[in-house]
Chain A
Amino acid sequence: MDLLSVNSVNKSYGGVIANIDVSLTVPKGKIVGIIGPNGSGKTTLFNSIVGHHPIDSGEIYFNGEEISSLPIPKIARLGMLRTFQQTHIYGKMTCIQNMQISSDIDANWKRVFNPFSKDVDEMVNELLAFVGLYKKRFLLAGDLSFGQQKLLEFAMALMKKPTILLLDEPTAGVNPTLINGLIDRLHQVNEEKGITLLVIEHNMRVVMNLAEHIYCLANGTMLADGKPDEIQNDQRVIDAYLGN
């Protein structure tokens, strides 16, 4: 079954047309990649999906539900989370607090005035260890390096136990020696926790290693899609990247 399906979405800001008739589907439990040159409309598409702005036309279904007019928090609570290209973390809070607040705090309004439960704290420690930030847990998130903030943001998303995770360039700015580890973790998250991943990625090596199916956007339109080796050999994709 398709967990997420985007049907003929159009989006333009002012005079700039960012997405033209874009469609894609993400099957449950898979890892899907989106590639494309700078300015091809990848992040705009992400923003449309998670509810950052209205879309001009088209439909977006998540788990069979039309979500293209829902507000951001509602979509997030349905189980779809995203990370940002430029990290978004709570800078003046410690890593532990960043993680705690990402747990499902208002699942029960009566408990919202209680401190965090032991279960949450255990999960925080476990996930911080998972992304390799356990030693930094008492530091302010704002004092972490950019790469570490990306890892923290990834771990924060996992706190919410999402059904699908939209990652906007997860390896950009991450120390190259850590990238392999990150790819392993993404695979692990997908296999062990059953989280579907939709990944925007610039690093070709990463996306070819990671995704089972790849979409290529160029100039706002969906240029091609297919398995990694098909995309790699697709002349249109090569042209788009070479700038023709």
Chain B
Amino acid sequence: MITYLNILIDSPEFLAQLVINGLLVGAIFALIAYGLALIWGVMDIINFAQGEMVIFGGYITYTLFYQFGIHPILSIPIVAVLLFVFGLLVYKTVIYRLLGEKDIFITILATFGLAILMQQLMQAIFGPDVVTANPELGMMHIFDGKVSISNIQLISFLIAAAVAIALFIIMKYSRMGQAIRATAQNPRASRILGIDIEKVYANTFAINAALCGIGGALVVMVWTIHPFIGLVYTFRSFMIVILAGLGNFVGIIFAGMGISSLENVTGFVIGAEFQAAVIFCLLVIILVTRSILARKKRQYIQ
């Protein structure tokens, strides 16, 4: 561990490499985390199946690539639409029945059940192996060739940024976007003002699913996926949202990129096999610290 730490101190370009990779991938994480924050803020639903939706999106891209020969980048809109429909389906069959449920743990358990179901379904359909759909677009070298970036990482970063901008515009200017933001602020007032809350909820949930799908498509291009890796994406999303706060769009972008870089560096120092443990422990540490600070102010985080 200390030797790895020494490597980082001795060769700053290596550190730069890790951080730059982290920043690029972090944009994807931010996208997924934004989806989580969206349904958390609007519907007060904590989605434990967030990561599984990401992986599902990844598998669709993978299948389109290897079975139908559709280029991964071109598959993104298809994945977005498919996951949007999937989100509507999940909303109608599961989430819709839990709205207004006073016991918050019931909704958590339901999304947890959904996560288990999706994991097992993906394993049954796609098999337990690690897959990737890297279109092999070559590398790019900067800083005299000391730091190299794969082109697909850069492209996925740009795509994530474009989706984020599009999303921002949709949320700000479209009818549905305005309705969603109004509902997040005050559901009762929105209902009185004639907003169809259920339609808003359905759309919000579906938009989140579509975001997860896009995230998954990008992840399967730059990295690898397997049916049980979703949990890690769920943790990351929670951590980003908890760091940034619910309604904070810009904060989520920064937190996403920051967490991702930090994770890359710690992953290098401690070992990549502890990936989930590191992220999870970080999440718990952040929450416990917040809880202790809140308790001093006679409050709880809830």
Whether chain A touches chain B in the assembled complex (some CB pair under 8 Å): yes
A interface residues with partner B (beta carbon < 8 Å) = 51-54, 69, 71-72
* Minimum distance in angstroms from B127 CB to a CB of chain A: 46
Instruction: Determine if A71 and B295 form an interchain contact, defined as CB atoms under 8 angstroms apart.
Output: yes
Interface 1/0s, chain B 277-299, versus A by CB < 8 A?
00000000000000000010111
Residues of A within 8 A of B297 (CB): 53-54
* Minimum distance in angstroms from A199 CB to a CB of chain B: 24
Q: Which residue of chain A has the shortest Cβ distance to B102 in the bound complex? A: A91
Residues of B within 8 A of A72 (CB): 298
The 10 tightest CB contacts between A and B, nearest first, are A54-B297, A54-B298, A51-B298, A53-B298, A71-B298, A53-B299, A52-B298, A72-B298, A71-B295, A53-B297
In angstroms, Cα B292 to Cα A71, docked, is: 13
Other A-B contacts than A51-B298, A54-B297, A71-B298, 8 sampled, CB-CB below 8 A, are A52-B298, A53-B297, A53-B298, A53-B299, A54-B298, A69-B298, A71-B295, A72-B298
In angstroms, Cα B298 to Cα A52, docked, is: 7
In angstroms, Cα B297 to Cα A183, docked, is: 36
Residues of A within 8 A of B295 (CB): 71
Residues of B within 8 A of A51 (CB): 298
Residues of B within 8 A of A52 (CB): 298
* Minimum distance in angstroms from B301 CB to a CB of chain A: 14
Residues of A within 8 A of B298 (CB): 51-54, 69, 71-72
Q: Which residue of chain B has the shortest Cβ distance to A47 in the bound complex? A: B298
In angstroms, Cα B298 to Cα A69, docked, is: 8
CB-defined A-B contacts under 8 Å, sample of 11: A51-B298, A52-B298, A53-B297, A53-B298, A53-B299, A54-B297, A54-B298, A69-B298, A71-B295, A71-B298, A72-B298
* Minimum distance in angstroms from A172 CB to a CB of chain B: 22
* Minimum distance in angstroms from A19 CB to a CB of chain B: 16
Q: Which residue of chain B has the shortest Cβ distance to A52 in the bound complex? A: B298
In angstroms, Cα B297 to Cα A163, docked, is: 26
* Minimum distance in angstroms from B302 CB to a CB of chain A: 14
In angstroms, Cα B297 to Cα A53, docked, is: 7
Q: Which residue of chain B has the shortest Cβ distance to A71 in the bound complex? A: B298
In angstroms, Cα B297 to Cα A52, docked, is: 9
Residues of B within 8 A of A53 (CB): 297-299
The residues in B between 250 and 302 inclusive whose CB is less than 8 angstroms from any CB of A are: 295, 297-299
Residues of A within 8 A of B299 (CB): 53
In angstroms, Cα B298 to Cα A14, docked, is: 16
In angstroms, Cα B300 to Cα A53, docked, is: 10
In angstroms, Cα B295 to Cα A71, docked, is: 8
In angstroms, Cα B297 to Cα A72, docked, is: 11
Residues of B within 8 A of A71 (CB): 295, 298
In angstroms, Cα B129 to Cα A100, docked, is: 57
In angstroms, Cα B299 to Cα A72, docked, is: 10
- Which of B295, B297, B298, B299 counts the most chain A CB atoms within 10 A? B298
The residues in B between 143 and 180 inclusive whose CB is less than 8 angstroms from any CB of A are: none
In angstroms, Cα B102 to Cα A138, docked, is: 24
Interface 1/0s, chain B 209-225, versus A by CB < 8 A?
00000000000000000
In angstroms, Cα B35 to Cα A110, docked, is: 49
Q: Which residue of chain B has the shortest Cβ distance to A53 in the bound complex? A: B298
Residues of B within 8 A of A69 (CB): 298
* Minimum distance in angstroms from A108 CB to a CB of chain B: 26
In angstroms, Cα B268 to Cα A204, docked, is: 70
Q: Which residue of chain A has the shortest Cβ distance to B299 in the bound complex? A: A53
* Minimum distance in angstroms from A23 CB to a CB of chain B: 21
Q: Which residue of chain B has the shortest Cβ distance to A69 in the bound complex? A: B298
* Minimum distance in angstroms from A84 CB to a CB of chain B: 17
In angstroms, Cα B297 to Cα A51, docked, is: 10
In angstroms, Cα B299 to Cα A52, docked, is: 8
In angstroms, Cα B298 to Cα A66, docked, is: 15
In angstroms, Cα B295 to Cα A72, docked, is: 11
Q: Which residue of chain A has the shortest Cβ distance to B295 in the bound complex? A: A71
In angstroms, Cα B299 to Cα A69, docked, is: 11
The residues in B between 192 and 245 inclusive whose CB is less than 8 angstroms from any CB of A are: none
Q: Which residue of chain B has the shortest Cβ distance to A70 in the bound complex? A: B298
In angstroms, Cα B299 to Cα A229, docked, is: 40
* Minimum distance in angstroms from A11 CB to a CB of chain B: 12
In angstroms, Cα B295 to Cα A54, docked, is: 10
In angstroms, Cα B295 to Cα A53, docked, is: 10
In angstroms, Cα B298 to Cα A53, docked, is: 5
Q: Which residue of chain B has the shortest Cβ distance to A48 in the bound complex? A: B298
In angstroms, Cα B298 to Cα A71, docked, is: 6
* Minimum distance in angstroms from B281 CB to a CB of chain A: 28
In angstroms, Cα B299 to Cα A54, docked, is: 8
Q: Which residue of chain B has the shortest Cβ distance to A55 in the bound complex? A: B298
Q: Which residue of chain B has the shortest Cβ distance to A68 in the bound complex? A: B298
* Minimum distance in angstroms from B296 CB to a CB of chain A: 8
